[in-house]
């Protein structure tokens, strides 16, 4: 009976967690693909960032390193950047802006023409007009 009670409690907890994630996952106007709480004030978000190669990957991750960021990863194939951050110290908007300032257009901001021109030739992706 004790094992059954533990199993029921585990199943209820798992169900509650999956329900919460579905409620907090949203598509937003600033191009965020997904956002959800991780723990306390720590949030995770995903959004598109244009680039081409592993050098772009290094540049994007470096540009995102602003106060409050705890993790950043950019996938060269999908062009999706996933960030984890402390919502008391920064926002997805601020992270997207920092990445754009490095010359990488993203679903929230477009980088300046000068920042784009300063990228290495291999990093100059086809920009949307």
CATH of the domain at 92: 3.30.70.100
In this structure, is residue 8 part of a structural domain?
no
- Cβ–Cβ < 8 Å for 51, 57: yes
Do residues 105 and 128 touch, judged by C-beta distance below 8 A? yes
Number of domains, the chain: 1
Within a domain: 66: yes
Query: Residue 1: which pLDDT band, with cuts at 50, 70 and 90?
Result: low
pLDDT tens digits, one per residue of 71-116: 999 999 999 999 999 999 999 999 999 999 999 999 999 999 999 9
In a domain, 5, yes or no: no
For residue 6, tell me if it sits in a domain: no
The predicted pLDDT at position 33 comes to 80
63, burial (CB in 10 Å: exposed 0-12, middle 13-18, buried 19+) = buried
pTM of the predicted model as reported, rounded to 2 decimal places:
0.75
The range of the structural domain enclosing residue 50 comes to 27-123
3-state class percentages of the chain: helix first, strand second, coil last, to nearest 5: 40, 25, 35
């Amino acid at each position: 009976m004790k094992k059954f009670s533990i199993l029921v409690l585990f199943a209820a907890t798992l169900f509650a967690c999956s329900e919460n994630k579905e409620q907090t996952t949203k598509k937003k106007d600033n191009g965020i693909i997904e956002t959800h709480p991780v723990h306390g004030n720590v949030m995770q978000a995903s959004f598109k960032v244009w680039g081409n190669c592993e050098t772009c990957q290094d540049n994007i991750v470096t540009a995102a390193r602003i106060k409050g960021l705890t993790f950043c990863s950019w996938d060269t194939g999908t062009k999706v950047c996933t960030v984890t951050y402390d919502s008391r110290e920064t926002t997805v908007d601020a992270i997207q802006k920092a990445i754009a300032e490095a010359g990488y257009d993203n679903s929230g901001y477009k980088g300046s023409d000068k920042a784009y021109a300063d990228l290495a030739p291999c990093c100059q992706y086809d920009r949307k007009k």
